[in-house]
C-alpha cells in the first residue's frame, strides 16, 4: 500500500511541476512512450516546453490532473484521434510501434503536423502530400507590396487551381493586366477598388472590402482575358487569389500591359494610340507588377467618382459578389455560403466556391466532389483525411494560411480540432456549379438491408442516418 501511495504522490508532484521527472535522455523518453503509448496523456517530461505555446491549438485542452491520474492505468483504444504528446514534441511512436527521433527533426513543423509523425492507424499506403503552407513559398517583395504563390511545382496534385496571396500597401496598384485563365479573389483584409472592361467595352468599377465588424468580405471573379487592375485604398489590402490552372506560372498565362508596350516598337505604340512618340517617353521598360500611386484616390465607397463615361455602358453581370449580403445555409455544426454561376454569381462560369464555417469540434461531413477541391484555411485549426481509393489514405493538419487540395473524387472530411475557436476556410472548384456527394445521405437513401449487410450494423442504426446533406455536423 505504501509504495503505491508514494508513487501516486510523486506522480502528482511531477504533474504539478513541483518535481520534474527530469528524463536522462532518449532512452527514458522511449521507455515512457513504449509504456504509455502516444494516445494517452503522458507526464510533462520538461523537454522543449516552449512547444506548448506554439502548438496550443493543435490538441485538446488538458484535463484536470486528478482525471489524468485516474486514467493513467488505462490505455484508451486507438480510434484515430490526434496523438497527444502532452505538450512535448511529437515523436514517431504510436501504440507500441515506432521509436523516438534519434537524430534531427524540425520540431516546429512536427508540432504543426502530428498526423505526419504519428498517423492514425486508418492511414495507409502512399498518398502524395496534399498541403502547402504559404509560409513555404518564396515571397516576391515589390515597391508597394508583395506576392507569394502556390503553383503546381509546389503542390503537384493541384492540377485545376493555383493560389496566391497578394498584399498592396495603401493606395498601391496591382497594375493593368489580363490572364489566359480565370481569376477569383477573396479579400482577406483591408479595402480596395477593382476596375475592368468586358469584350464589348463595357466597363466595371467597384470597391471591395475584407471582413469587418463580423461581416463576411467581398469576392470577385474575372473571366479569362478580361483586363483588370486593383488599387488598395487607405487601409491597404491583402487578397487570396485563385487561378484556374495549376501551372499558373507558365509563360503565356499572365500579360501585363506595361510589359507588352515595353516590348513593342515605340513607333507602333505611338501610331496605335494616335499620339506622338514624344508623349510616350515615360513608358516603363520593365513591368512594375505592383506600383505606388501618385495621387490619393477618392475614399472607399466613392468608386463612381473615378468612373469614365462609357458609351457602351456597364457590364451586365457584376464581377464582385458581396458575401455579407448572402444568406447563410445553416448546418447543425456551422454554416456555409456557396457561390457559383448556376446559382447566384452568373459571371463566375469557371469557378465555384464555398465559404465554410465549422463550429468548435464540428465536422465537415464525409463527402467527395467531381472536380479537384482547392482549399485555404482562413482561421482556426483543422484535420482532414484524404481517402485516395485502393486502400490508401493520409491525414493532414491545417493551420491558417495553409492551402491544400483534395484531387477529384477523393473522399474527405475536415474536423475542427479546437473546442473553443471556429474553423473558417474556403473550398474552390474549377466548375460552373458546386457539386458534392454526402456519404451519410447516400447510405440513408439506399435500401436499409444493403447498408446493414455491408457495414455489419443494425437496420435501426441505419435508420438514424440523415437523408438531407448535413454539410457540417455538430
Catalytic site residues?
Answer: 427
> Are residues 413 and 462 in contact, defined by beta-carbon separation less than 8 angstroms?
no
The closest alpha carbon to 162, from 280, 58, 242, 274, belongs to 242
From the CB of 439, what's the least distance to Co ion, in Å?
A: 12
| Residue 178 DSSP code | E
CB of residue 427 to Co ion, shortest distance in Å: 6
Interface region with Co ion, contact rule CB under 5 A, candidates 21-29, 154-162, 201-209, 368-376: 368-376
- First-to-last alpha carbon distance for the chain, in angstroms, is 45
| 3-class SS letters over 431-456 | CCCCCCEEHHHHHHCCCHHHHHHHHC
Q: Is 322 labelled as part of a ligand binding site? A: no
State how far the alpha carbon of 279 is from the alpha carbons of 272, 274, 282, 283, in Å.
13, 11, 8, 9
152 or 384: CB nearest Co ion: 384
Q: Is 228 annotated as a binding residue?
A: yes
Least distance between Co ion and beta carbon 110 (Å)? 26
Find the shortest distance in angstroms from Cβ 282 to Co ion.
24
Beta-bridge mates of residue 194:
206, 230
Per-residue cell: 76: 484508451
Closer residue to Co ion in complex, CB, 44/438: 438
Question: CA 383, CA 474: separation in Å to the nearest integer?
Answer: 15
Contact range with Co ion by CB under 5 A, out of 43-51, 176-184, 281-289, 342-350:
176-184
Least separation in angstroms between residue 312's CB and Co ion is 22
State CA 8 to chain mean position distance.
45
Distances (CA, A) of 421 to 358, 362, 382: 9, 10, 11
Q: List all residues 6 or more positions away from 164 whose beta carbon is below 8 Å from its beta carbon.
A: 147, 148, 149, 150, 240, 241, 243, 248
Pick the closer one to Co ion by CB: 32 or 221: 221
Cβ closest to Co ion, residue 90 vs residue 380: 380
Nearer to Co ion, 180 or 448 (CB): 180
Is 179 annotated in a binding site? The answer is: yes
Burial of 263 (0-12, 13-18, 19+ CB in 10 A): exposed
According to the annotation, is 263 in a ligand binding site? no
What x/- string results for residues 181 through 200 when contact with Co ion is judged by CB under 5 A? --x-----------------
Question: In this chain, which stretch among 137-145, 177-185, 296-304, 349-357 interacts with Co ion, using CB under 5 A?
Answer: 177-185
209 is in an annotated binding site: no
Measured between alpha carbons, how far is 78 from 95 in angstroms, rounded to an integer? 8
- CA–CA dist 218, 345 (Å, integer): 12
Q: Which is nearer to Co ion, 118 or 352 (CB)?
A: 352
Three-state SS sequence of 229-246:
EEEEEEEEEEEEEEECCC
Give the nearest distance from C-beta 16 to Co ion in angstroms.
Answer: 44
Binding of Co ion by 245 (CB under 5 A) = no
The answer to the question of whether 107 is labelled as a binding residue is no
Among positions 149, 245, 373, 397, the unique one binding Co ion when judged by CB under 5 A: 373
Name residues whose C-beta falls within 8 Å of residue 471's C-beta, 6 or more positions apart in sequence: 329, 331, 334, 336, 356, 364, 365, 438
How many residues belong to the site for Co ion (CB under 5 A)?
2
Residues that bind Co ion (CB under 5 A): 183, 373
Annotated binding-site members: 177, 179, 183, 228, 367, 369, 373, 412
Annotated binding residues for Mn(2+), written as ranges, equal: 177, 179, 183, 228, 367, 369, 373, 412
Amino acid at each position: 500500500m505504501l509504495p503505491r501511495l508514494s508513487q501516486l504522490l510523486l506522480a502528482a508532484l511531477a504533474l504539478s511541476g513541483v518535481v520534474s521527472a527530469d528524463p536522462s535522455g532518449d532512452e527514458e523518453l522511449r521507455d515512457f512512450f513504449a509504456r504509455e503509448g502516444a494516445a494517452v496523456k503522458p507526464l510533462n517530461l520538461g523537454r522543449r516546453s516552449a512547444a506548448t505555446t506554439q502548438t496550443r491549438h493543435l490538441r485538446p485542452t488538458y484535463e484536470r490532473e486528478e482525471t489524468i491520474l485516474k486514467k493513467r492505468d488505462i490505455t484508451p483504444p486507438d480510434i484515430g484521434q490526434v496523438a497527444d504528446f502532452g505538450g512535448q514534441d511529437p515523436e514517431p511512436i504510436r501504440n507500441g510501434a515506432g521509436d523516438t527521433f534519434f537524430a534531427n527533426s524540425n520540431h516546429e513543423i512536427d508540432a504543426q503536423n502530428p498526423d505526419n509523425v504519428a498517423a492514425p492507424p486508418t492511414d495507409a499506403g502512399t498518398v502524395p502530400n496534399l498541403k502547402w503552407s504559404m509560409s513555404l513559398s518564396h515571397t516576391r517583395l515589390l515597391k508597394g507590396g508583395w506576392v507569394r504563390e502556390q503553383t503546381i511545382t509546389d503542390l503537384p496534385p493541384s492540377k485545376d487551381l493555383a493560389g496566391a496571396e497578394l498584399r498592396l500597401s495603401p493606395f498601391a496598384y496591382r497594375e493593368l493586366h489580363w490572364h489566359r485563365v480565370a481569376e477569383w479573389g477573396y479579400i482577406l483584409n483591408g479595402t480596395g477598388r477593382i476596375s475592368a472592361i468586358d469584350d464589348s467595352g463595357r466597363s466595371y468599377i467597384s470597391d471591395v472590402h475584407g471582413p469587418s465588424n463580423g461581416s463576411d468580405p467581398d469576392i470577385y471573379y474575372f473571366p479569362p482575358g478580361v483586363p483588370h487592375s486593383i488599387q488598395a485604398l487607405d487601409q491597404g489590402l491583402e487578397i487570396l487569389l485563385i487561378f484556374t490552372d495549376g501551372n499558373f506560372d507558365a509563360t503565356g498565362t499572365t500579360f501585363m500591359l506595361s510589359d507588352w508596350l515595353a516590348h513593342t516598337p515605340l513607333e507602333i505604340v505611338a501610331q496605335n494610340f494616335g499620339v506622338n512618340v514624344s508623349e510616350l517617353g515615360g513608358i516603363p521598360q520593365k513591368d512594375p507588377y505592383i506600383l505606388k500611386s501618385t495621387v490619393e484616390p477618392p475614399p472607399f465607397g466613392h468608386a463612381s467618382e473615378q468612373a469614365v463615361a462609357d458609351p457602351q455602358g456597364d457590364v451586365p453581370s457584376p464581377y464582385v459578389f458581396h458575401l455579407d449580403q448572402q444568406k447563410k445555409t445553416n448546418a447543425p455544426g456551422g454554416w456555409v455560403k456557396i457561390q457559383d454561376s448556376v446559382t447566384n454569381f452568373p459571371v463566375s462560369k469557371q469557378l465555384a466556391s464555398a465559404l465554410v464555417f465549422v463550429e468548435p469540434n464540428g465536422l465537415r461531413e464525409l463527402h467527395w466532389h467531381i472536380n479537384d477541391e482547392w482549399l485555404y484555411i482562413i482561421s482556426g485549426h483543422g484535420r482532414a483525411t484524404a481517402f485516395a481509393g485502393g486502400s490508401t489514405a493520409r491525414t493532414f493538419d491545417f493551420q491558417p494560411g495553409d492551402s491544400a487540395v483534395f484531387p477529384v473524387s477523393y473522399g474527405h472530411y475536415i474536423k475542427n480540432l479546437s473546442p473553443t475557436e471556429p474553423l473558417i476556410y474556403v473550398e474552390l472548384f474549377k466548375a460552373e456549379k458546386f457539386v458534392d456527394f454526402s456519404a451519410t445521405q447516400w447510405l440513408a437513401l439506399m435500401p436499409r438491408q444493403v447498408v446493414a449487410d455491408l457495414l455489419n450494423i443494425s437496420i435501426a442504426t441505419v435508420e438514424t442516418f440523415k437523408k438531407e446533406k448535413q454539410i457540417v455536423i455538430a
